[in-house]
Structure 1
Amino acid sequence: MASRNVVSRIPPAAMAAVRKEVFGQMPQRNVRTGYKFLKKSHTGVFDERWYPESIEKSAREVLPGYTSELEQRRLEKLEYLRRRGKGPPKKGLGKRAQKAAGKKR
């Protein structure tokens, strides 16, 4: 019982200072601190290693005309759409450019 009386006579600010000195700075329970996020292990290195580096960049340096199968398929599809009249318009000939040109006049 004697210890309870001693603790009650110490001012709360002094008690907090002693508590901080002994246990370190502890966050309040009702305040978000971000500690949970900070204590997570870093995964960036592992994520980076998961996906192998593409060879396309280095292949284009060695072979200037190099195109991957995916790029070749995209170009063929684009050419097919252009022949049908469904491809993208040339720069400055789209709806948006026509609207802007009409407003300027």
Structure 2
Amino acid sequence: MATKGRLKNILATVATTRLTEARAKIFGHVLNPTSQKSPNKILWKKLISDKVAGWYPYDIKKDDPLVMARQEQERLSKLEMLKRRGKGPPKKGQGKRAAKHSK
């Protein structure tokens, strides 16, 4: 009887470990059964350096004044459209915080 219970526990642990391995493989998680510290947290961070920045193409949007002017014009036209519908930003001193203090 004792061996039957022990065998059942062994099979259950094997099944759960296989299930966690499959889950990690499917969803792209990192499996860490020993709970040791790993460098994955550091590796997933955004890379910052001149060398790494050189790997990516130059973004013309940042320096081209025509592109920036067009984006600003689009922003202003969208803001104007919202104001006409009554959904624009409130005037200074007319927001939620000011409404709370006036009660």
Pair in the same fold by TM > 0.5: no
TM-score (norm 2): 0.41
